[in-house]
Amino acid sequence: MTDTRSFVRGLGAAAAVLGTLAFVVGAPVRPPHTGRDTVVSAATRDALDERAIEQISASQLARWIRDGKAGLRVLDLRDSSAFETKHVPSAESFALTGLATVLPKPGETLVLYSDDDLRDAQATAWLAGVGHARVHVVRGGMSAWMTEVLSPIVQGDSAKAVGALSRYFGGVPSLVSPDADPRVTSGARDDGSKEVLEFVARRGC
């Protein structure tokens, strides 16, 4: 009987220790490592194979920011110097190891971007493991933001909407590829972009 009692006490002590350590580590996932030569863990790779990462386009993110989507939180995973140079409005700069401080909140939508698919994948696997319900990655990262939102090529029925979205973020929409037709893009800054769009409309495309 006394053996059982002391064994049970030992189990209780073990539970207390493991529970306290759980509080210290926070999440039941080890923080992702940084560095280029890091090998993606088997668990991460499995997770990525099975749940294709929810990718969104840069213009989708732009629409969410403009429309004030509730619970939206944008995380920039590039290094802080790249963040200082340019970043998506409202984005917060996070290193991979800093993600442990991003706690899940009900109704929140996380959008990640960087210029590195591997980093996006590690961060997504980690955030999903910690209990974030909605995590999206911007397809193409920061460079997609530059080309799709800040200097998009407008054409067709969507020209007006794309141009307006771009100008909302201070971008410069161009009618065709800049190298193909410098004549049109040269007059396309800010107030000029309106003319571009009217030109598009006149041409009836």
Examine residue 104 and tell whether it contacts other proteins (CB under 8 A): yes
Helix (H, G, I), strand (E, B), or coil: what is residue 50? helix
Residues 84-103 that bind other proteins (CB under 8 A): 103
Residues 159-188 that bind other proteins (CB under 8 A): none
Give bridge partners of residue 82 from the DSSP assignment.
Answer: none
Instruction: For residues 117 and 154, give the distance between their C-alpha atoms in angstroms, rounded to a whole number.
Output: 27
Contacting residue, 95, 133, 180, 201, with other proteins by CB under 8 A: 133
Contacting residue, 6, 16, 187, 205, with other proteins by CB under 8 A: 16
Look up residue 153 and give its DSSP letter.
B
Binding mask 27-66 for other proteins (x = CB under 8 A): xxxx----------xxx--xx--xx---------------
Q: Which strands sit side by side in the sheet containing 92-93, from one edge to the other?
A: 55-56, 134-138, 109-113, 72-76, 92-93
CB contact set of 128 (below 8 Å; sequence gap of 6+): 47, 51, 135
Our CA angle for 86, 56, 134, nearest 5°, is: 100
Nearer to other proteins (CB atom), residue 7 or residue 158? 7
Least distance to other proteins, CB of residue 119, Å:
19
Helix (H, G, I), strand (E, B), or coil: what is residue 174? strand
Contacting residue, 33, 95, 131, 188, with other proteins by CB under 8 A: 131
Helix (H, G, I), strand (E, B), or coil: what is residue 92? strand
Nearer to other proteins (CB atom), residue 86 or residue 105? 105
Least distance to other proteins, CB of residue 118, Å:
18
Instruction: For residues 162 and 94, give the distance between their C-alpha atoms in angstroms, rounded to a whole number.
Output: 29
Nearer to other proteins (CB atom), residue 53 or residue 142? 53
Least distance to other proteins, CB of residue 88, Å:
24
Contacts to other proteins by CB under 8 A:
4, 7-8, 11-12, 15-16, 18-20, 22-30, 41-43, 46-47, 50-51, 103-106, 128-133
